[in-house]
Amino acid sequence: MRSVVFTRTGPPPCVVTVVDRPRPHPDDGEVLVRLRARPINPSDELFIRGRYGRAPDLPAVPGFEGAGTIEETRAAGRRAGQRVAVSAIGTWQEYIAVPEEEAIPVPDWLADELACQLTINPLTSLLLVRQLALRPGQWLLITAAASALSRMILHLAHRNGIRCVCVVRNARHSDALTRAGAETVVNLASESLADRVREVTGGLGLHGALDAVGGRTGNAAVRCVRPGGQIIVYGMLDGGAINVTPHELVFADITVRGFWLPRHLDRLTADARAELTEHAVGLLGTTGFTPRIAATYRLHEVRQALEHVRRYDRHGKVILTG
């Protein structure tokens, strides 16, 4: 079978290669899935660079999610021919053997290109909005607002009556985000985030912020939160440090914490995780929440796909098929 492999960490397009490897065999309680689609997520790139929360066991196969069809089963709860979304390490290959609970049945109406995105971004968006627990009329800042995950967060927050300030680096995203429910879109290339937040909130600041960037953008987000506000950092697109002073923590009573999906999923009961996943499946068929697809590439075109991810004019997810 074809597998994308990296034998050293580094820039993804430079270190990945496609090789032939033996097809895995499922153990008791596992299923063998013929994968048809997998997204390229920021976590995949961090994993290949050696900067993710789980270190790769080299040589390693990237990819944390995908979708396909069960080809062989040794699990009572799954059947051959069943379409599933997969949550597992190593989905950038044609076949993968996983425990049955990591092979999630998906409805026929959910295309592979969407089903393969079920287990990370939709679950993350739901958990982040729940954790913030903002009330209707309160203000939320969303950095990297043009990303697929941020658009899901915007959809959920707007639906709950939360007023969203979306932060981007290019004005071309402004109209689409405004139509999706953003109260204000701030283009960091030409505007001061602090000034715009003071303007729209009457100088009071934001009740919460969700930051996927870190560095200068993350620090600017912290400075925009009002006393008693909260910041959740869930990404590191910049990778730079976020500096919070003891004065801000004590006298402004702000809360800064991180979010990593695997750790939060581990804390859920099986029933709670099933409820969360069922909710996410329904949302993937909802206008405004459904992620856009920028392009699809075959597995052997993985380097071109990774280059596409870095393109300035990209709109939507890049999907690996085949």
Q: Mark whether 163 and 139 lie in a shared domain.
A: yes
Q: Mark whether 226 and 174 lie in a shared domain.
A: yes
pTM: 0.95
Read off the tokens for 8.
């050293």
- Looking at 263, 278, 302, which one is the last position of a domain? 263
Q: Mark whether 131 and 241 lie in a shared domain.
A: yes
Q: Which domain holds residue 242?
A: 122-263
Q: Has residue 225 been placed in a domain? A: yes
CATH number at residue 35: 3.90.180.10
Which of 140, 321, 298 is closest to 226 using CA atoms?
140
Q: Mark whether 80 and 163 lie in a shared domain.
A: no
Which 3 state secondary structure label does DSSP give 309? helix
Q: Mark whether 206 and 102 lie in a shared domain.
A: no
Which of 16, 94, 23 is closest to 62 using CA atoms?
16
The pLDDT, as a whole number, for residue 248 is: 87
The pLDDT, as a whole number, for residue 239 is: 83
Q: Mark whether 151 and 252 lie in a shared domain.
A: yes
Q: Has residue 167 been placed in a domain? A: yes
Q: Which residues pair with 65 in a beta bridge?
A: 87
Q: Mark whether 111 and 162 lie in a shared domain.
A: no
Taking the chain (322 residues) in runs of 10, the rounded mean pLDDT of each run is 98 97 96 98 97 95 98 95 97 98 96 97 98 97 96 98 96 92 95 95 97 95 96 93 90 94 96 96 93 96 97 90 95
Q: Has residue 13 been placed in a domain? A: yes
The pLDDT, as a whole number, for residue 170 is: 87
Q: Mark whether 257 and 139 lie in a shared domain.
A: yes
Q: Mark whether 88 and 157 lie in a shared domain.
A: no
Find out whether 204 and 226 touch, Cβ atoms under 8 Å. Answer: yes
CATH number at residue 161: 3.40.50.720
Q: Mark whether 181 and 248 lie in a shared domain.
A: yes
- Looking at 243, 263, 283, which one is the last position of a domain? 263
Q: Mark whether 129 and 109 lie in a shared domain.
A: no
Q: Mark whether 241 and 173 lie in a shared domain.
A: yes
Whole-number Å distance between alpha carbons of 75 and 295: 34
If one counts the domains in the chain, the total is: 2
